[in-house]
Amino acid sequence: MKNGWIEPSSCDLTIMSEEELREAEHLGMRVESHGHAHLDYGAATPAEARKDVDASIEILTKVLDRRHHYLAYPYGRHSEKARELVKEAGMRAAFSIERLHEGVHSWERVQITPLDGRRLFALKTSGHYMNWRRSRLVSAASKPLRHPIVRRVLER
C-alpha cells in the first residue's frame, strides 16, 4: 500500500505492513500512532477525530500486542477539541508540526521528507531546527522565499 499524501506525488513511499511494524518493534524501535486514516485533525469533526483515534488504538494494539500512548497528528494539524479527544482516548502525549508547544497533547515536532537533503536532515534532527526557523534573521531572510528554495540553498 502506498501513501497518497506526500508531495510531490512522485515520492514512492510505501506504508509499512503489519509484519514490518512488528519487526521494527523487535529491532528496538517504538511504534506509536499517526492516526488510522491520515485524517486532518484540524479540519475533522470531533466525531471523526474520535473515531480515527479509536481505530488507531484498536488496530495497533492488535498488531503490536500492546497499547500505544503517543500520537503524531497527521499533517501536524489539530484543533483544541481534537487535543481533548486524544487525551480522553488515553494518549499520554501528541505531536504537531510547525506549531509552538501548547501542552502535553501539542508538542512541536519537525517534519522530515524525502526532499530534505543531507544538510537539512542533519539540521532538522539536531534539536536546533525549530529555534533556527524561528530566529529573526531566518524569518526575515526567508519570508519572500518559498520553502523549496530554502531547501535547495541548504543542500549546497
pLDDT classification of 137: cutoffs 50, 70, 90: low
Q: Where are the domains of the chain?
A: 1-109, 113-156
Q: Classify 1-109 by CATH class.
A: alpha beta
- Closest listed residue to residue 33, CA positions, set 49, 9, 14, 13: 49
Tens of pLDDT, residues 105-130: 999 888 888 888 899 999 988 888 88
Looking at per-residue confidence, does 27 or 146 come out higher? 27
SS3 120: helix
Query: Rounded mean pLDDT of the chain?
Result: 83
Q: Is the pTM of this model over 0.75?
A: no
User: Which one, of 135, 42, 131, lies nearest residue 94 by Cα?
Assistant: 42
Q: What is the dihedral of CA 10, 11, 17, 20, to 10 degrees?
A: 150
Backbone angles phi, psi at 107, to 5 degrees: -75, 145
Question: Which pLDDT does position 111 carry in this prediction?
Answer: 85
- pLDDT (tens digit, 9 = 90+) per residue, 29-65? 999 999 998 899 999 999 999 999 999 999 999 999 9
Instruction: For residue 51, report the phi and psi dihedrals to the nearest 5 degrees.
Output: -60, -40
